[in-house]
Amino acid sequence: RFRIGLVRDQAFGFYYADDLEALAAGGAEIVPINALDDTHLPALDGLVIGGGFPELFLQELEANASLRRDIHQAVEDGLPVYAECGGLMYLSRSMRWTGRAHQMVGVIPGDVVMHDKPVGRGYVRLRETGLSPWPAGAAPAQEICAHEFHYSSLENLAPNVQFAYEMVRGHGLDGRHDGIVYRNLLASYTHLRSTRNFNWVQHFLALVAQHASSRMAAKQAVA
């Protein structure tokens, strides 16, 4: 069974119950992680950071520097990571609200700014670019139906960032793109739900299995 970390606490808690059931049915052992209290990341095969309200816990998230460092290093090492909305915000360089910026994980080269009104709200349609780290990302482009609801925007984003999706409908990151891709990280404002048309859990676990197999082969080669 694959050990999949699930960040679930007061700051992050938006998950569909059937998606969590699909993870377990797909062979995942869910490992609970508290971004406010856990000081280090345990040994994992993958990590999921869902939506929530990280803007309400900026001081606590910033203060937990050791966990932020562990997550940053895990992404750099190629750990499969999927982050949605609040998770994307947490992985950014900083988050600004009420005039003050707080340091976040820093693996996404951009800064989150909170606004008084929603930046993106409602149903979205995405078209795959083929750049997703998930194995299915190499398949012919298809449209994915999902939704978004966020009061924040991602600003000062580095110009060389790659995106997993083009926006057919909705705002996403900038009205044109969503789904930041870096190594085996996919982070988007869009909230996906595993359906018959697009089973994101299956695609994510396929990457987890692929990465685990590569690590095992590398260890055997060294031995």
Do the Cβ atoms of 104 and 64 come closer than 8 Å? no
pTM of the entire structure?
0.95
The structural domains of the chain, ordered by start, are 2-222 (3.40.50.880)
Contact at 8 Å (CB) between 45 and 2? Answer: yes
Burial of 42: CB neighbours in 10 Å, binned 0-12, 13-18, 19+: exposed
- Tell me: the pLDDT tens digits for 64-75? 999 999 999 999
Per residue in 176-221, pLDDT (tens digit) is 999 999 999 999 999 999 988 889 999 999 999 999 998 888 777 7
pLDDT of residue 82: 99
Helix axes 200-222, 17-25, angle to 10 degrees: 40
Active site residue 145: no
SS3 category, 103: strand
Q: Which of 4, 11, 47, 85 is catalytic?
A: 85
